[in-house]
Structure 1
C-alpha cells in the first residue's frame, strides 16, 4: 500500500494544496529565533531541542501579552510538526528553519502541509530502503492506517 495525497487529507486532515512548504535561507539565526520566540538557546541554533522548547514554553501566564501568546503558539506548533508530520524516531530536535512557517500565525494554514508530510514520508522510506536504516521517520499514523485498512 502506498499513501496518496487523498489519504493524507482523509486520514490526517491536512491541506494538500496551497503554498509550498519550502524554506528560505535565514541570515541571522540568533535574531530570527529571538524575534519569533523571544529567547535564544545556547549551542546549536540550527536545531531546537524538544527539552528546551518544553522547559521554556511549558505554561503561559493567564495575563500574558499578545506577543507572548504568539511566541508560545509558535513554539507549540514547531514542536507539534516535529513529532507528527516531520517526526524522526532518532532525534528529539526540530530544525529551526521550520519556525519561518509560523512567523505569521494566521497564514500558517495556507501551506500545503499534507503534501509536505507525504514528501517527508516518501523521502524517509526511500532512505530506509536504500541505506537499510532500522528506524522510521514520518507520520506513523498515516503509514499505519494506510497499510492496516488499505485506504
Structure 2
C-alpha cells in the first residue's frame, strides 16, 4: 500500500481466477478484486497506471448494490477534474479514463482519426475513415497542438 492505494499486480497475485472447487466467498472476493482492477486499470486510472485507490473497495462492500451506482458520472467527473488540472503549466500527467477522452476527440476531430486499412478491423471503426485521417498520427503533444492550431473552426464537428 502507498497513500491509500494498492498495487494491481498484488490483486492479481492474491486473488487468482476461481476454479470449479471455489466457494461462493472466494468467487465474491475474486469478483471484487477483478472490479477493482477494472476501476484502477481503465475507469479511474491514477498517474502510475499500476495502483488503485482503496476508496473504491468501500463501494464494493455491498456487492449486490454495485450495479445501482452511477459509475458513468463518477468516470466523467474524474476525467473533467483531471482535464482542468492538466491545464497547469507544470502538469505532465493526467488520470482518468483516457480512452473515453480519446474516443471523444476522434469523434469530434476527424483529422485526429487514424486511417484504418486492415482487413480484420471491426466494421464500426472503419466508419471513422475520413479524407483527413492520418496513416500515422503524431504522438508528441507539440505536434498535436500544431495540428489543432492549423485547423479552421469549420473543421471541428
Q: Give me the TM-score of the superposition, normalised by structure 2.
A: 0.63
Give distance in 1, aligned partners of 2:97 and 2:3. 25
Write the deviation string for residues 93-140 of structure 1: whole angstroms up to 9, x where unpaired. 111121011112221011111110011001111111125322231112
Q: How does 1:109-124 map to 2 (within 5 A)?
A: 109-124=67-82
Q: How does 1:128-147 map to 2 (within 5 A)?
A: 128-147=86-105
Larger radius of gyration: 2
From 7, 26, 30, the counterpart of 1:68: 26
| Higher RCO by CA contacts (8 Å cutoff, separation 6 or greater) | 1
Give distance in 1, aligned partners of 2:89 and 2:74. 22
* Structure 1: gaps (5+ residues): 1-42
* Structure 1 residue aligned with 2:36: 78
Give distance in 1, aligned partners of 2:2 and 2:42. 23
* Structure 1 residue aligned with 2:54: 96
Give distance in 1, aligned partners of 2:82 and 2:2. 24
Alignment partner of 1:57 is 2:15: yes
Name the SS for the 1:134 alignment partner. Answer: coil
Higher mean displacement: 131-140 or 116-125: 131-140
Kindly report structure 1 stretches of 4+ aligned residues shifted beyond 6 Å: none
CA change 1:61–1:45 in 2 (3 A) is farther
* Structure 2: gaps (5+ residues): 109-156
Please tell me whether the aligned partners of residues 46 and 52 of structure 2 are also in contact (alpha carbons under 8 angstroms): no
